[in-house]
Structure 1
Amino acid sequence: MSKLELKMPKMGESITEGTIISWLLSEGDSFEEGEIILEVATDKVDNEVPAPASGTMKEIKFQAKDVVEVGKVIAILEVSNEKKSTSNLKSNTKEQDETKDKKPEKRKAATISNAGSSSQSFTTSNSNTFFSPLIIAVA
């Protein structure tokens, strides 16, 4: 078992702090991965924070109704299976990207033309591109 610092999650781009509504666990309680540990409120949204892994609540650093800055440690968890670190996730994503790059690409040329003027047209190499009616009308 290893200790894991549970930090106040970022719940939006402009959100800098959150208020702890309630803890659903007490110190010493055990929990499963994905189980809701606490509820947090901001001026824009209320959110439930799930457990990153299975383990035990060792220490709660802030109580209900405390306002906490995003990124501050709010609790210490003792977990049996830590979640993958960001560097592991990045390397796995990189490997998947490399695998995708090795597959042969099938590109279809899509020609979009203006209904009012058939002489104006443009092509793209990606057939999954969406063109809004405004873009088509301007082209």
Structure 2
Amino acid sequence: MAENFNFELVSPERLLLSEEVSEVVIPGTEGEMTVMAKHAPTMTTIMPGVVRVKTAGGERHQYVVFGGFADILPSGCTILAESAVAMSDVNRDTLVKRIEQARADLEHAESDEDRTQIERFIDQLTHLNHTILPA
């Protein structure tokens, strides 16, 4: 049986989850990573994607995050998301609006670096849109 650890998913709007879990899958910018109890200390940025959680009781939850970072310690994991919602609350309109906003931001980008970051964000949102809400 897997050991459990503390997990919190926090967005600026609210605390989405604070619970004992056995496993969390995070969409890191370098690729997906699975966090379990006694994980080596790590801090990573996260890209838009799906956080999958398996609670100590065996329930499974999914949340869509739109960037942020994860702080992982042997005793727990905290995700501070730029924005996050339960997967059940996501629909095509939500993602299309975020993509449109990012495209508007792209028009006002002040530097090549800003432009590159916004273009990467648009690509990630578009991929997320096709991954969780296939046509």
Decide: shared fold, TM above 0.5.
Answer: no
Bigger radius of gyration? 1
Shorter-chain TM band? under 0.3
TM-score, with normalisation over the residues of structure 1? 0.24
TM-score, with normalisation over the residues of structure 2? 0.24
